[in-house]
């Protein structure tokens, strides 16, 4: 299976590491061939192709998509470039493995989803956090009914990469290149995680805030207006009737990789924090009499996929290992023509939720995510929440 | 200073322990005299008066309020009894120290606040959690500007005392005896804590849920309708413009004493969890280069009031010690005729927020708490949120 | 039951708080009467007697011991004063409740134990940490066989109250007033805890170190030689054959109240740290398949004595609450003429272990603690370990 | 640089993953070529060579060592096979990268060290835990003097892979195949870590225990005698004069990957636990007034090597990533002809300490590790500690 990879930046490197390791870690999947590395910066493409073991380098992403020998196109470029590349790859009959968020918004994502569906392409979106054996364990506990009936879900994804008010304006701050802000970058992971664990959302009500409305222009002395939200605080209702909250921030001073949740049922509950990604905490109300309490389960070979990395418990996987599992899912899905869990349909559904959150903030009412891709329409309004706060009065 | 204490149940005992210890712990305040213990169950009053060292016992709360030798009346009865007792005590010229929530709702609380204000009575509400030296430290860090500008506040108070679907219907489940549910019982603490740390609320938007709509009647085979909310999930805006969330639940399986918050500023953040009440976690973005990270500060003699309990750091205070500090605040406030922090005005303001949360859930719009006690009006509507969920559609 | 309390310092205050609270917390024990407070500083005795509610104050400890109306003498003075006071109180027919360590060494402790035994006095030593409901739970888990066969015990008690090299010389640094250093002050608690959980010690091998051999004399410019150990690291064997380690330090920079242990058996293990004194962590190898992991049990009303303080789980006891439980044990032991767990025999046995540790360090060989009080002989040698280190070569 | 890898088991796979990833993660080192995979099971060698991307497979390890095109030989076989393979590889002029422990004992390790030194071969031992950016940070804090003068080191490496009394006898239980037990397998890592952080050991005193003296023979119904220790508890003195303890166990029920330490100095301290390998806890006595406390530093791009895996803090490395860093060290050492930190000299010094621990347990006296390889002599005695316990009496 031959891969073209577009984008030789940070996520491109994560994909490249996975492409190299996957066949050793998972001997039962076909080894991917690193065929072409494309980057808008041709010399970077050359240099990284050599280091990362790609056969060819190019500064022409379209040629990489069209190359007849390529089976799968991986896309690791900024959000606004996904759509054109994805559609080209699908048009050329390729399978596509695209980083998140799938598009700038639900409409873009829907167009990619529909194109892939019509073409019969296998697709995947880079929602690697749900590849974690501990998250798989969480879902198996939920599915086995061990938590009882659903009561509530509190999820957050908080980082501080823009926590410094002086952090420069970057492509993530502009509507035209990023779409929404913290929602597209971090919220997309949290929404997918919620889908994965407890199902789809019926309705959302968001409060979006751009805490730092201007940031220094890295290209000069001026200040630029930030065009999307730094934070989103959201009330949610799942289709099951269970209520919950989402808290998403890129300005949460002190939080790094802060994807966390508490999932409560009538008979037990789970808590998880990505910074301790090898631990899942489980509470069972019916445990040993007088001795109930959260139990900290450490990742080990009894959990999905762990043993492929290490036979001994507690040794711990890292973030890049999740990318290896994700790639395995892509390879196995293509090889065996079976569904890939986080596919373009899921990529679109996640962004339909983000659209609904933005709309609920604009219109100040509970809003339901689109349930068919045809209904997805481009977002309107200024799209950046209200300055400082959009609440009340 | 002579005390009458009304209510010889669980909270009455906590007050009694504090009344006995306070003068030893804090030698600079006048020792309170345990004059009268009143309880509707006269034999319980007798028995506990003896064990707890009260001079007299009675089953007539009014006589306790009116007794000329009594200076302060402490009230530890269910919510719906507060108003009549408080007004009687104030009418008799007493100072009043009442358990939370002050009343069934903001209107009741306002009437007590106004009566006390007009009478010049000293008042206090039992919001003991803010008496914790670690919470005092948190506020001093905020006030010193060490966190920079406010960014967000995420607070929760989650318990599971009604987490069992089979837990019987009790007085906390009825409007007439409890007012709101989780909001009055747990939310009141969280709202006061938020006030204490970051100021007043401008606007709220709540989603209330009664997860278990019927509970077994402990007096017979029938099921009774639960009349108030099990959970409240709330978007909030502070007057400073800072947004936040509150999550309040009495059905959060696995959580015990789960009063917790994350407070984020532009230069640092704080986290706290009551189950580790002797720890405060602080993040400072400007810390040692390459070595930022949350620091866990253990309670010690350098923090407010701690040294009165123990001269050595890390030894730890317990929940009852917070009641001793609270009582010291009451005694000192009366003795030196100075303001008590958590007084009836604060008790009313807290319930004005709860009223606003309930109203926002009913009307599905952001709602501002009343800012003058005159504006407080009784809540209308069924007051129990929508069954299962009140979101969307 | 009338109490005389000798020593109005820090520990005296802890006793005074407990004397005041105990009858409210535990209504089933007789309320102690605070009869006499004695302190070498007569004006301090007067002042504190008033604040703490004692009927009389004196600067003459002997008169307090001899007062006919006194039933129990509590002793909260520095170590070297215990023996004379204890023997006087026993001679006067009193019961005695003495702070730890019982004496300067095993010989002193043995003389007190034997005197009390011969007189039929009830005795107690202030080993409050084992009064913790979580430690009681730990023992019940051990006794129920839930951990299987004993494998190892690793215990530590580490503080940093002398961690600053410039901390002044105090009475704890001198043989004549303290006996051993970290061992008597902290090690005594750890040894008692080990006895309590897993039984007596067959043999010990210690490595004692005085890290800071000189400290500033608080009374003048000179430096004084520290006469006892700052740290003890000890290999141990229990009578059951189980091996273990003790680590004891008063110079462990950063550690506060650092009494901790890991107890391992063939089927499970326990861990505990006093700074989170309301938590016990339990591992059961046979737990839910694929889901073993340490469970954090929070203190709650289902655990011994907790409910007397608070009916709700997770609210947390503090260090002073342990003193209240300890005093209850004393009162109940006397009232019902039954054994008090941490009595003078135990106080002597603990110091026999400390003697053996010191001897093992001097003689560089495994040493067994004395098993009869007659065999206890005064320690010889310089008693301060070897400077800097006593290991090897 | 061409690699032959001997041993296609668990550690062989970890090496294979690293061989594949290293050039992508660290573009500045030459990409290793996977030339030959050797395994005693020829078909396993064939199968894994294909999956892991090796050019050739063989069941003849010697031919792999002798192959002229091979530059480096990696050795991932059981302990007793290391010596012959290492000496053959060195004899053939190869560099050698051998798993730990280097040999069965110090004498074997010395012979390998001396052979490599004489041949000018670059060597490395698989002590991957010190490749962790957090451990590098720990050392840089120590070296910068931020902790002040050394006070104590408490280290442990505890696992429970033989915690089940019914776990079958394996090669790790026999002297002839494993040498010592928990010491060689786990203790070797801990000793190297101690060397890395705080320098060499002057003297040790160990207490070794074989908890389960017989285990079921996997090849039949009989029981086999376990020939080496399950646990070692050790008092240590470093050359700096600092005392400490080591606790090493393979029967520590509940502990997984339990490599942990507390390092205390006069001005600060560090704690670390491998199960949270992306966290280092630091205490500085001089921190913010009234606000000292352990700070939890999360791994991030400001720490050594982290950025090569991920540009964002808190995302976390896993155990296999440490192997990639270790391999980078090997490649860079060879390419630039510079020292590799964990080389055969270190491998020998670690086992000299293990020899000394075993000897101290046999002779019951403090023992110094050999300081020259010539002095290393084979261990004598039964080498398995005393049954049940070897202490006292």
CB contact (8 A) between residue A233 and residue B254: no
- Among A49, A134, A170, A257, the strongest candidate for a mutation testing the D interface, having the largest count of D CBs within 10 A, is A257
Between the alpha carbon of residue D71 and those of residues A384, C266, C307, D16, D61, the distances in Å are: 59, 47, 70, 16, 15
| Residue B18: pLDDT over 50 | yes
Task: Name the one residue in this structure whose structure tokens are 């494998």.
Answer: C151
Nearby residues of C350 by Cβ (< 8 Å), 6 or more positions away = C100, C101, C102, C109, C125, C127, C188, C191, C192, C195
CA of B318 vs chain C CAs: smallest distance (Å): 4
In contact, A231 and A249? CB cutoff 8 Å: yes
In contact, B124 and B156? CB cutoff 8 Å: no
Q: Two tokens at D374?
A: 């010539």
Q: Which residues of A touch B266 (CB under 8 A)?
A: 163, 165, 211, 251, 253
Low-confidence ranges of chain C (pLDDT < 50): 375-376, 378-393
CB contact (8 A) between residue C10 and residue B311: yes
Q: Which residues of A touch D316 (CB under 8 A)?
A: 257, 274-275, 277, 316, 318-319
pTM: 0.95
pLDDT in the model for residue D313: 94
How far is it, in rounded angstroms, from Cα B336 to Cα B69? 20
DSSP symbol at D208: E
Q: Two tokens at B336?
A: 């030196």
CB contact (8 A) between residue B364 and residue A365: yes
Task: Name the one residue in this structure whose structure tokens are 């074997």.
Answer: D108
| Residue B131: pLDDT over 50 | yes
CB contact (8 A) between residue A243 and residue B231: yes
How far is it, in rounded angstroms, from Cα A301 to Cα A51? 32
Number of neighbours of residue D29 by Cβ within 10 angstroms: 21
How far is it, in rounded angstroms, from Cα A7 to Cα A78? 9
Which residue of chain A is at minimal alpha-carbon distance from C301?
A290
- Runs of H (alpha helix) within D246-318: 306-309
Nearest CA to D58 out of D70, D46, D68 is that of D46
Q: Two tokens at A153?
A: 């879900």
Average pLDDT over every residue of A172-193? 98
Per-residue pLDDT tens listing for chain D (393 residues): 999 999 999 999 999 999 999 999 999 998 999 999 999 999 999 999 999 999 999 999 999 999 999 999 999 999 999 999 999 999 999 999 999 999 999 999 999 999 999 999 999 999 999 999 999 999 999 999 999 999 999 999 999 999 999 999 999 999 999 999 999 999 999 999 999 999 999 999 999 999 999 999 998 879 999 999 999 999 999 999 999 999 999 999 999 999 999 999 999 999 999 999 999 999 999 876 678 899 999 999 999 999 999 999 999 999 999 999 999 999 999 999 999 999 999 999 999 999 999 999 999 999 999 999 964 454 444 444 333 333 333
CA of B216 vs chain D CAs: smallest distance (Å): 41
CA of D62 vs chain C CAs: smallest distance (Å): 41
DSSP symbol at A185: I
Nearest to D202 among C244, C247, C391 (CB): C391
CB contact (8 A) between residue A287 and residue C302: no
Between the alpha carbon of residue D149 and those of residues C389, D204, D290, the distances in Å are: 14, 21, 23
pLDDT in the model for residue D220: 83
How many inter-chain contacts (B to C, CB under 8 Å) are there? 129
CB contact (8 A) between residue C303 and residue A290: yes
pLDDT in the model for residue C286: 84
- Among B249, B264, B357, the strongest candidate for a mutation testing the A interface, having the largest count of A CBs within 10 A, is B264
Nearest to B20 among C20, C258, C321 (CB): C20
pLDDT in the model for residue C384: 42
Q: Which residues of C touch B314 (CB under 8 A)?
A: 255-258, 274-275
Q: Which residues of B touch A391 (CB under 8 A)?
A: 202-203, 205, 235-237, 243, 366
DSSP symbol at A184: I
CA of B301 vs chain D CAs: smallest distance (Å): 9
Nearby residues of A363 by Cβ (< 8 Å), 6 or more positions away = none
B389: pLDDT confidence band, cut at 50, 70 and 90? very low
Nearest to D233 among C235, C253, C294 (CB): C235
Rounded (5°) CA angle C257-C261-C264: 170
How many inter-chain contacts (A to D, CB under 8 Å) are there? 129
Average pLDDT over every residue of B326-344? 96
CA of D257 vs chain B CAs: smallest distance (Å): 24
**What is the number of alpha carbons within 13 Å of residue D53 lying toward its C-beta?**
24
pLDDT in the model for residue C378: 44
Nearest to B51 among C27, C278, C321 (CB): C27
Its ipTM equals: 0.93
pLDDT in the model for residue C388: 34
Chain C residues at the A interface, defined by Cβ less than 8 Å, are 137, 282, 287, 289-298, 302-303
CA of A16 vs chain B CAs: smallest distance (Å): 28
pLDDT in the model for residue D291: 80
- Among C278, C291, C305, C306, the strongest candidate for a mutation testing the A interface, having the largest count of A CBs within 10 A, is C291
Which residue of chain B is at minimal alpha-carbon distance from D292?
B297
Cα radius of gyration (chain A) = 21
| Residue A103: pLDDT over 90 | yes
CB contact (8 A) between residue B297 and residue D293: yes
CB contact (8 A) between residue B290 and residue D296: no
Between the alpha carbon of residue B330 and those of residues B32, B35, B338, the distances in Å are: 11, 17, 10
Q: Two tokens at D373?
A: 């390889």
**What is the number of alpha carbons within 13 Å of residue A35 lying toward its C-beta?**
20
CB contact (8 A) between residue A291 and residue C298: no
Question: What would the DSSP string read from start to end of A245-300?
Answer: EEEEES--TT-SSEEEEEEEESSEEEEEEGGGTTEEEEEETTSSTT--EEEEEEP-
Q: Which residues of C touch D141 (CB under 8 A)?
A: none
- Which tens digits make up the pLDDT trace of A299-323? 999 999 999 999 999 999 999 999 9
In contact, A369 and A95? CB cutoff 8 Å: no
D260 backbone φψ class: left, alpha, beta (φ>0; ψ -120 to 50): beta
CB contact (8 A) between residue B21 and residue C17: yes
pLDDT in the model for residue A27: 92
């Amino acid at each position: 299976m031959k891969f073209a990879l577009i984008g030789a930046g940070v996520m491109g490197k994560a994909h490249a590491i996975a492409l190299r390791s996957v066949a050793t870690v998972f001997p039962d999947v076909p080894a991917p061939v690193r065929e072409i590395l494309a980057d808008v910066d041709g010399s970077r493409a050359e240099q990284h192709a050599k280091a990362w073991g790609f056969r060819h380098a190019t500064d022409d992403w379209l040629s990489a998509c069209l190359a007849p020998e390529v089976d799968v196109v991986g896309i690791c470029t900024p959000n606004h470039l996904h759509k054109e590349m994805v559609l080209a790859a699908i048009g050329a009959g390729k399978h596509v493995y695209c980083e998140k968020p799938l598009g700038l918004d639900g409409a873009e994502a829907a167009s990619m989803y529909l194109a892939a569906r019509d073409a019969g392409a296998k697709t995947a979106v880079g929602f690697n956090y749900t590849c974690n054996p501990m998250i798989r364990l969480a879902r198996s506990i939920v599915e086995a009914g061990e938590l009882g009936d659903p009561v509530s879900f509190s999820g957050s994804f908080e980082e501080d990469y823009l926590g410094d008010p002086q952090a420069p304006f970057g492509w993530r701050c502009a509507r035209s290149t990023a779409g929404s802000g913290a929602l597209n970058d971090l919220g997309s992971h949290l929404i997918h995680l919620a889908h994965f664990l407890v199902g789809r959302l019926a309705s959302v009500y968001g409060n979006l805030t751009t805490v730092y409305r201007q940031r220094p222009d890295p290209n000069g002395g001026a200040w630029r207006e930030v065009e999307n939200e730094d934070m989103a605080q959201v009330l949610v209702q799942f289709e099951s009737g269970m209520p919950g909250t989402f808290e998403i921030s890129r300005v949460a001073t002190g939080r790094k990789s802060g994807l966390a949740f508490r999932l409560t049922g009538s008979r037990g509950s789970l808590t998880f924090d990505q910074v301790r990604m090898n631990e899942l905490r489980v509470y069972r109300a019916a445990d040993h009499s007088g001795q109930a309490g959260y139990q900290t389960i450490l990742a080990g070979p009894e959990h999905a996929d762990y043993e492929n990395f290490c036979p001994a418990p507690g040794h711990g996987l890292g973030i890049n290992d999740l990318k290896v599992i994700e790639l395995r899912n892509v390879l196995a899905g293509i090889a065996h023509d079976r569904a890939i869990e986080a596919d373009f349909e899921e990529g679109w559904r996640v962004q339909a939720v983000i659209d609904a959150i933005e709309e609920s903030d604009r219109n100040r009412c509970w809003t339901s995510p689109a349930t068919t891709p045809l209904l997805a329409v481009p977002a309107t309004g200024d799209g950046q929440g209200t300055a400082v706060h959009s609440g009340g009065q």
